Amino acid sequence: MDYRVSNIHDELIERCRKGDSRAFRRLYELYSKAMYNTALRITGDSDDAGDVLQEAFISAFNNLDRYRHDATFGSWLKRIVINKAINHIRKRRTVALPEDAEWDVPDEPEIEIEVGEETVRRIREAIGQLPDGYRTVLSLYLIEGYDHQEISEIMGVSVSTSKSQLNRAKARLKEMLTTRHEREN
């Protein structure tokens, strides 16, 4: 049985495999903005995100023969970007994520609220100020949609560490936003 995923860019990918520079440029144009944003959410720094983006595209283009069509090209590329971003953080970080197996922090209940542009800007800014581990887990879980098992595999930490880091990230984010709101009012 063939489990290939149909991809609207299969022709471009084949042209890239044959060395067509225009096809490389077109794939880059199609995916670079979304992949940059993914890298930025994880690294928290525009220069680092640019470096990660470049490394990810070079890696993807050099390894197109490994793309097996079992996921969309965008999903395959996003996985490369996430891995490169996490590796980039690991290289610059001096302190590793703590193992929190004994902390097993319960999940906080979800609260739905409507937010305006200014609130979104403040939240993005606050996320950017989170420590690397918190920001990475928060981004992978809330924005990229990975579950804790997947995050633990991607980051090389336990599931409980992933959960703990997410809860601590949410608490820190709430604290940062509350403190800032109180200062402004």
Quick one: pLDDT at residue 20? Answer: 92
Domain shared by 15 and 64, yes or no: yes
Give which of 170, 171, 151 is closest to 161, Cα–Cα: 151
Q: Distances from the Cα of 130 to the Cαs of 13, 49, 58, in angstroms?
A: 37, 16, 29
Residue 164's domain spans which residues?
117-184
Domain shared by 125 and 171, yes or no: yes
Tell me, yes or no, if the pTM score tops 0.75. Answer: no
95-128 pLDDT, tens digit per residue, is: 444 454 444 444 545 445 555 777 778 888 888 8
Q: For residue 71, what is the domain's CATH number?
A: 1.10.1740.10
Give which of 92, 91, 60 is closest to 74, Cα–Cα: 60
Q: For residue 175, what is the domain's CATH number?
A: 1.10.10.10
30-85 pLDDT, tens digit per residue, is: 999 999 999 999 998 899 999 999 999 999 999 998 888 778 888 899 999 999 99
Which helix H or strand E contains 45, and what residues bound it? Answer: none
Residues 76 and 69: their CA atoms lie apart, in Å, by 9
Residues 132 and 155: their CA atoms lie apart, in Å, by 12
Domain shared by 132 and 73, yes or no: no
Give which of 20, 49, 1 is closest to 9, Cα–Cα: 20
In a domain, 43, yes or no: yes
| Count of domains forming the chain | 2
In a domain, 4, yes or no: no
Name the CA dihedral angle for 53, 58, 75, 162, rounded to a multiple of 10 degrees: -60
